[in-house]
A and B are shown apart, each in its own frame.
Chain A
Amino acid sequence: MMLQNNDREIILQLKGGSLEALGTLYDHHRQMVYRTALMITGDNQAADDLLQDVFLRLFRFAGNFDAERPLEPWLYRMTTNLAYDWVKRRRGLVSSLEDLADWLISSGKNTPYEVVEQQDEWAQVQMAVSSLPLNQRVVVVLYYLNDLSIQDVAEILEVPVGTVKSRLHYGRLALKRKLGFTQEMVPDLSYERP
């Protein structure tokens, strides 16, 4: 795995129950965890809650960690697993309400995401990602947002490399279709690093 272990000393402190170490690890990784959770769930409040859950679990289970191994794969795995669970739970809770909404909106073609104001070009991409099937969405988020290799994504999700490639392929096709991709849509990069 390409990910590096930069947190060894801090994890050793965390194993001793240090809250300061927890705070330091939170500062190092909060943006990655939060943005991954947000992109998968599409819900700010859920992403905040998942951020808390991930780091509480990190604190709780620190004793089981091998300090020699990088922390990021565990964080990615925990974040995606919890986000998976959240989306599945919510899907069950809101499905009946969504059915009602579909019935009320006679056109029936627009998803809730599509009826949101679409003045922000970047937000359109986020909405397109949110509308992907969950399995494809998770792979797209880990690959594009977090710059992980296909091999890394496969290890984190514990699925074969071929499965990741397949999900990524169909995710990309769906995104291109939803975005009506054309060459002139590629704007300048203005990515602000965490």
Chain B
Amino acid sequence: MSDPSDQYIRRALKNWSSRQRPQANSRARLLLVASAPPQHFSLEDAAENRPYLDIFKPMEGPGDRAIELYDLSWLLSAQFSLARLGRVT
């Protein structure tokens, strides 16, 4: 699959791209961001940064929505704890 047009396209792309360079401060910026704690640099796939409770917290009924609205996650923890105690007793 190599004819003159192939060679031309390849040379043209390489020639054009050889003159393109990232910004001069790109390396320093990368190392600066990478040196910060993980929660301070956000990747687009934020799922990995999501706290454990956000993933498993069941938010269904009005009580659950109130817990979410007023940030009463301690109440959720208490619910889980009491439920466990209930099973034990």
The binding surface of chain B is classed by DSSP as: helix
A186 within 8 Å of B (CB atoms): yes
| Contact residues in B for A193 (Cβ distance below 8 Å) | 18
CB nearest neighbor in B for A165: B1
Docked CA distance A174–B1 (Å): 15
Q: Are A186 and B8 closer than 8 Å at their CB atoms?
A: yes
A34-B20, A51-B22, A56-B30 known; A172+B13 contact, CB < 8 A: no
Q: Are B14 and A47 closer than 8 Å at their CB atoms?
A: no
Q: Which residue of the partner chain, among A34, A60, A186, A189, contacts B21 with CB atoms under 8 Å?
A: A34
B35 within 8 Å of A (CB atoms): yes
| Contact residues in A for B11 (Cβ distance below 8 Å) | 186-187, 189, 191
Q: Which residue of the partner chain, among A144, A191, A194, contacts B9 with CB atoms under 8 Å?
A: A144
Instruction: Provide the B5-18 mask, 1 if CB < 8 A to any CB of A, else 0.
Output: 11111111111111
Please count how many residues in chain A sit with their CB below 8 Å of the partner chain's CB atoms: 53
A83 to chain B, nearest CB (A): 13
Instruction: Provide the B44-64 mask, 1 if CB < 8 A to any CB of A, else 0.
Output: 100000000000000000000
Docked CA distance A82–B44 (Å): 10
B88 within 8 Å of A (CB atoms): no
Q: Which residue of the partner chain, among A30, A34, A129, A194, contacts B13 with CB atoms under 8 Å?
A: A129
Q: Are A125 and B13 closer than 8 Å at their CB atoms?
A: yes
| Contact residues in A for B78 (Cβ distance below 8 Å) | none
Q: Are B27 and A38 closer than 8 Å at their CB atoms?
A: no
Q: Are B17 and A30 closer than 8 Å at their CB atoms?
A: no
Docked CA distance A176–B23 (Å): 32
CB nearest neighbor in A for B41: A56
| Contact residues in B for A144 (Cβ distance below 8 Å) | 6, 9-10, 13-14
| Contact residues in B for A191 (Cβ distance below 8 Å) | 11, 14-15, 18
Given contacts A23-B30, A34-B22, A122-B15, 16 further A-B contacts (CB under 8 A): A22-B30, A22-B31, A22-B34, A30-B22, A30-B27, A39-B13, A51-B22, A59-B34, A123-B16, A126-B12, A141-B13, A144-B13, A181-B4, A181-B5, A186-B11, A192-B19
Q: Which residues does A use to contact B, with CB under 8 Å? A: 19, 22-23, 26-27, 30-31, 34-35, 38-39, 44, 47-48, 51-53, 55-57, 59-60, 82, 85, 120-126, 129, 140-141, 144-145, 147, 168, 172, 175-176, 179, 181, 183, 185-187, 189-194
